[in-house]
Structure 1
Amino acid sequence: MLLCPVFLIIFFGSVSYAAQTIVFIRHGEKPDNQSGQLTCQGQNRALALPEVLISRFGNPDAIFASAPYQNKLGNSLRSLATVIPLAVRLSIPINLKYHATHVDDVTNELLSNTSDNHLTVVAWEHHNLVLIAKSVIKNVGGDAAIVPDKWPGSDFDSIFVLKIDKNNAKDPVIFSHEQEGLNGLSVSCPK
């Protein structure tokens, strides 16, 4: 009788479960200039975002943000600024290895074996964010057409969620399009 539970522990303990969740968000609201910064409303979004993401998805194991280019005046820091409050709250680093257009490199790292069983938050520029989501889906054998082709320029509230199970050859990825629910935040800077 005791052998059955031991067998189950040994058998299921050796099964590799490769579930992974990737949460894609766009940076917060931006000004109509080339400063590369968030607006006050975007900063308010960044400050409210940790509660939204943690309550909905749990604590992420990794956070990615598109890296600014060096020595370029007005370079965008928006993706980084959007996830800094989340990283500070959880005391975890932000992966800044890739610039906004490095779609293949980001895809490869997101799908590396070290990302299995992980929750990853990716904050990016909206055009390339769509390309990364589609690339991830295609690389795990899913249909990239499930992701909208465009992320509207006025949309700072959407969340794309990919739930990946590399062991499920028939349906390796589930896509959902959700909302942060943070539209209408104050346009005044926090004090």
Structure 2
Amino acid sequence: MRRLILTALVSLFALNAAQSTAAAASSTQTVIFVRHGEKPEAGLGQLSCRGLNRSLKLPAVIAKQFGKPSAIFAPNPSEEKDDKGETYAYVRPLATVEPTAIALGLPVDTRFGFEDIDKLEEALEAPAYRNATVLVGWEHKQIVKLVRNIVKENGGDKHDVPKWSGDDFDSIYVLRITRDGEKTDVQFERRNQGLNHLPETCPL
């Protein structure tokens, strides 16, 4: 009888250990992509007043829809970009997510230039983010390239990711990547901030 009880206990512990290991191996990463806010007619690498108003409203949108992210990424603002025929430091994406970083008490990772999406993708694959929510503020065409790459590399259909219209500053592209051992599943979703039609005048 003792042997039977001991055997049953060993089996139960082994089952619990296996289930715990399986649970630990399974993770879901949520990556939120937002485009920079509206820009002025002259470009300047900057936000317009409407874009600034969007950036100030964005923290509440992110917190309500996704909770507090674990990390925030934006392009290196010192890297220059052609903007309306002139070259400027590209600060627009960072300016868009900076109020969110301030409101939520987070740093912004700006290690990569706006075209260095391969390096950004590699950073997003870090173990620290495997079970986390990450916010990325970037240039819209580069967002589409990156999201399609991630979807394809994780077994999804990159054609599920639509083009991002040039006059659309309100969309949110969301990726949920579930990893369970060697199995990976990726889900794409398009949401909205609901922040169109904000004032064109800057807050005083």
TM-score by length of 2: 0.84
Contact 1:104–1:135, Cα closer than 8 Å, also in 2? no
Residues 114 and 80 of structure 1, relative CA distance in 2, 3 Å threshold: same
- Give the aligned partner of residue 175 of structure 1: 188
Distance (Å, rounded) in 2 between the aligned partners of 1:169 and 1:152: 35
Structure with the larger helix share: 2
- Give the aligned partner of residue 48 of structure 2: 39
Of all paired residues, the percent bearing the same amino acid is 39
Q: Deviations over 1:47-90 (max 9, x none)?
A: 00010011111100010111123478622201000011111011
Distance (Å, rounded) in 2 between the aligned partners of 1:28 and 1:79: 7
Residues 89 and 146 of structure 1, relative CA distance in 2, 3 Å threshold: same
- Aligned counterpart in structure 1 of residue 132 of structure 2, from 118, 125, 149: 118
Write the letter of the residue equivalent to 1:136.
I
Contact 1:20–1:117, Cα closer than 8 Å, also in 2? yes
Distance (Å, rounded) in 1 between the aligned partners of 2:167 and 2:104: 29
Contact 1:140–1:166, Cα closer than 8 Å, also in 2? no
SS at match of 1:122: strand
- Aligned counterpart in structure 1 of residue 21 of structure 2, from 3, 14, 22: 14
May I ask how many residue pairs the two structures share in their alignment?
Answer: 190
Deviation at 1:27, TM superposition (A): 0.4
Structure 2 runs not aligned, ≥5 long: 1-8, 82-86
- Give the aligned partner of residue 170 of structure 2: 157
- Aligned counterpart in structure 1 of residue 147 of structure 2, from 127, 133, 137: 133
Structure 1 runs not aligned, ≥5 long: none
Deviation at 1:107, TM superposition (A): 1.0
Query: Please, what is the CA RMSD of the aligned residues?
Result: 2.4
- Aligned counterpart in structure 1 of residue 71 of structure 2, from 44, 62, 70: 62
